[in-house]
Amino acid sequence: MQESLKKLGYSFFTMFIAVSAIFIVLRATPGDPVEKVLGAEAKPEEIVKYRAQLGLDQPILIQYKNYLVGVVTGDMGESLFKKQEVKTLISKHMGPTVVLAFISVGCAMFLGTFLGIIAGFKRAGVFDNVSRIISLIFLSFPIFSLAPILVYIFSVKLGILPVSEWSGVKHSILPLITLIIPLSAVLMRVSRNKLLEEAGEPWVQVLKSKGLSEMQVLKRLTKVCLPTILNVVAIQLSVVLAGTMITETIFDIPGMGMLLFEGIQNRDYPVVQGVIIYSTIIYMGVYFIVDFCNSKIDPRIQA
């Protein structure tokens, strides 16, 4: 219980640092949101009046206090450009992001772990050598370069998959592949290395000496490797969320990534703040779920 409360305290502290950093970075970024909204033709008196309406004429500490109160009470404010509540905008755009993020993580976890375990169990074999080379190649391609390559092959050359929009299963294939490939490569290498590390432990030799089959030993090795794999998934989730937002921008998907991109372009403070806060909450929630699962898989891990 004490350990859980300590982790909860760390999470709240992390959240506080994240929301504070968002506020500081946005205010330090060049550009005036008021001038962006009103346009270059706006008169000085109109700019002053609108800035006062938004509260941007107040001292920075007062703005920061109001911002924190809004975060605590769940009031993210209103978009400067779309004139809608930020919570409403995020709820409209969250669907594609959640689908892409969680399906890609689930598929990558299954694929990467399965291939990594097989490669480690068949160490130095043909499959192991080929899979390591392929995973290294996939790790060398960031999302913003992998996506155009996939578009060129499957959309431009072969013409079998659409490039943009979000209106059916076919439209989600390329974005999902873009996210699954690099994460699968990471998990494959991690699971392989963890399996090889555990395979050299004395308890594995004891199991073999008792006459257990290779499959039975492999099942036990896989269970021992799962906490490490889940921890890597939790760490990589932040990368996946960022990658999802990049992917949405590339494939013109109306998710939180596209909303964040538009918010940054327009200096829409409430939208940018809201999207990043929601992403942080999702990440912290998944971290707690992974931590709970690890405690059930391995009782030695404190819950």
Residues 6+ apart with CB under 8 A from 228: 190, 191, 194
Each residue's pLDDT tens digit in the chain (303 positions)?
A: 566 677 777 777 888 888 888 888 888 877 778 877 777 777 888 888 888 888 888 888 998 888 888 888 888 888 888 888 888 999 888 888 888 888 988 899 899 988 888 888 888 788 888 888 888 888 887 777 888 888 888 888 888 888 777 777 888 889 999 999 988 999 999 989 888 888 888 888 888 888 888 888 888 888 888 888 888 887 777 778 778 888 888 888 888 888 888 888 888 888 888 888 888 888 787 777 777 777 776 655 443
| Residue whose structure tokens are 């506020």 | 23
- Give yes or no for a contact between 135 and 185, defined as CB atoms under 8 angstroms apart: yes
CA distance 166 to 173: 10
Burial (0-12, 13-18, 19+ Cβ within 10 Å), 245? buried
Residues 6+ apart with CB under 8 A from 13: none
The domain covering 93-297 belongs, at the CATH homologous superfamily level, to MetI-like (1.10.3720.10)
Q: Where are the domains of the chain?
A: 12-73, 93-297
**Phi, psi angles (nearest 5°) of residue 78:** -120, 140
**Whole-number pLDDT of residue 31:** 74
